[in-house]
A and B are shown apart, each in its own frame.
Chain A
Amino acid sequence: MKQRYLTAEELARIKGNFYTVSIDEEEKPPIYVSPEEFIPLMQLLKTNPRLLFTHLSCLTAVDWKDTIDVVYYLFSEYLGAYVVVKVKTIRNHPEIPSVTSVFPGAEFEEREVYDLMGVKFTGHPDMRRILMPEDFKGHPLRKDFKYEKPAPPKATRVSGEEEEADA
């Protein structure tokens, strides 16, 4: 892919004024950020004239046994580069601020992550399940999801008399 990853000093410049941001030393280091400083970082990435990461291409979550990482892939046509922002959340009640204030187009994807992975996004316009039926229990994409087949609904007959005949 022609899009290059951000170079080390560009990442350092981004990290400059955030103290909870941590970037480790691998080849294409994702930016780990705490939920508190997540929205300001996204604001900076999108609006800073030297960065202009305007296209939030992919928003998803990965279930690592102990934590759930929410992953954001941002692309900038101005720099011709992309960057990965990750937010670690606690496994049993994951809660991070919704990015729809910065990227309104992330609404459906956030609802899908909530529906399949169980990560709640505070400040989301309508935080509901999108793919699963409303009364579905559990989040299927988690590694420890056990699926028990629901009992088939009992066929109820509407009109009166035949009921006795069947019962």
Chain B
Amino acid sequence: MKRTETYLLNMGPQHPSTHGVLQVKLTLDGERILKAEPVLGYLHRGIEKLMESRTYFQCLPYTDRLDYISSMNNNFGFAMAVEELAGIEVPRRAEFIRVIMAELNRINSHLIGIGTLANDLGASTGMLYCFRDREYILDIFNEVCGARQTFHYIRIGGVAGDFTDKARELTEAFLERVPKFLSEYDQLLTGNEIFTRRIIGISAMTAKEALDLNMTGPNLRATGVARDLRKLDGYSVYGELDFDIPVGEHGDNWDRYQVKMKEMAESAKIIRQCLDKMPEGLIMAKVPKMLKPPKGEVYSRTEGTRGELGFYIVSDGTTKPYRVHIRRPSFVNMQGLDLMCRGMLIGDSVSAYSSIDPIMGEVDC
């Protein structure tokens, strides 16, 4: 009787296509995956412990290092949590600038998501085009906040620098480029039969499974559940902007790819509206130097690029938070990895990693 034996293949933490230091223990029968167990913690810096011994202002630069590809959304989440705790009212102009920056960062992060998906499937040209288009966004960020990746731009009570005319000009130029490069990806990737055959029907997930696994963000919306906190909570000025939420049907890699592509178009629409509606005025509220929020706790959640990003802050009335817990979307989405890789081949596990699009800084916190 033929006896086959399963073997353990260790993918990572040093591997070209596990995004960052992610190690996945694959139990394989030939090339078919029986079990995929992610091993986390290689990039654990203990940010929650660090934040307990720093003032609220000093905690903000650490949120840049959580999801270092969309650090603007992390600042946004933390700043909103502290403002709700301390009862600070942010001026309207700052709210609009924050939404513009967060949406630019969402496009920036989805471009990397799609670029790495294309590169993991072999089309490195697709990745080069994504990184070329990303440079235009980085120029805007460089112009407005002086940094290209860890911005520390959205502060408690407003934003650090004003949205200059040069930045507006660069943003307008970028908004014209968006439909052009989206159609270029459609020609290069979406229409490509090899690309579609590699991701259609791969690691599909039903809506019930996704909800049970507490998944959020594009991974959940790909399964058909239209839950987007920008619409649900309508925080900041999202309530006044009209945009729709792209939703997939089967929850496979193809739908995740399509949801990200459509979300980029939606973000461009949001930026367009914000540019028109942005009033003149202050960009920073009156915030006391020694900010002492009242004793109590707050949990504020925002729609990060990879899902629901929540900040739970317990304050004991001093200038330093007593406890900060960060609900990190990539960390919770990693639970879906095993379900997505089971029964697939090694080649598909790679496309599963890049369609969950985890950022290890955020997963290991």
Q: Which residues of A contact B (CB under 8 A)?
A: 1-3, 54-58, 60, 62-63, 71, 73, 77, 82, 84, 103-109, 112, 116, 129-133, 140-141
Contacts and interface: CB of A to CB of B under 8 A. Distances in A.
Interface of A is mostly: mixed
B281 interface: no
Given A60-B312, A103-B212, A132-B44, 19 more contacts: A1-B233, A2-B232, A3-B233, A57-B301, A58-B299, A58-B310, A58-B312, A60-B325, A62-B322, A62-B323, A73-B299, A77-B227, A77-B232, A82-B299, A104-B212, A104-B213, A105-B215, A116-B48, A131-B365
B312 A71 contact: yes
Interface of B is mostly: mixed
29 contacts: A1-B84, A1-B233, A1-B300, A2-B232, A2-B233, A2-B234, A2-B235, A2-B239, A55-B211, A57-B310, A57-B327, A58-B301, A62-B323, A73-B310, A73-B312, A77-B227, A77-B232, A104-B213, A105-B213, A105-B335, A107-B335, A109-B332, A130-B40, A131-B40, A131-B44, A131-B364, A132-B41, A133-B41, A141-B49
A130 B312 contact: no
Nearest to B327: A58
Interface residues of B, number: 35
Contacts of A103: 212, 214
B24 interface: no
B312 A105 contact: no
A2 B168 CA distance: 30
Given A1-B84, A73-B299, A131-B40, A108 B331 contact: yes
Interface of B: 40-41, 44, 46, 48-49, 84, 211-215, 227, 232-235, 239, 299-301, 308, 310, 312, 314, 322-323, 325, 327, 331-332, 334-335, 364-365
Identify the 4 closest CB pairs spanning chains A and B, nearest first.
Answer: A105-B214, A60-B325, A131-B41, A58-B327
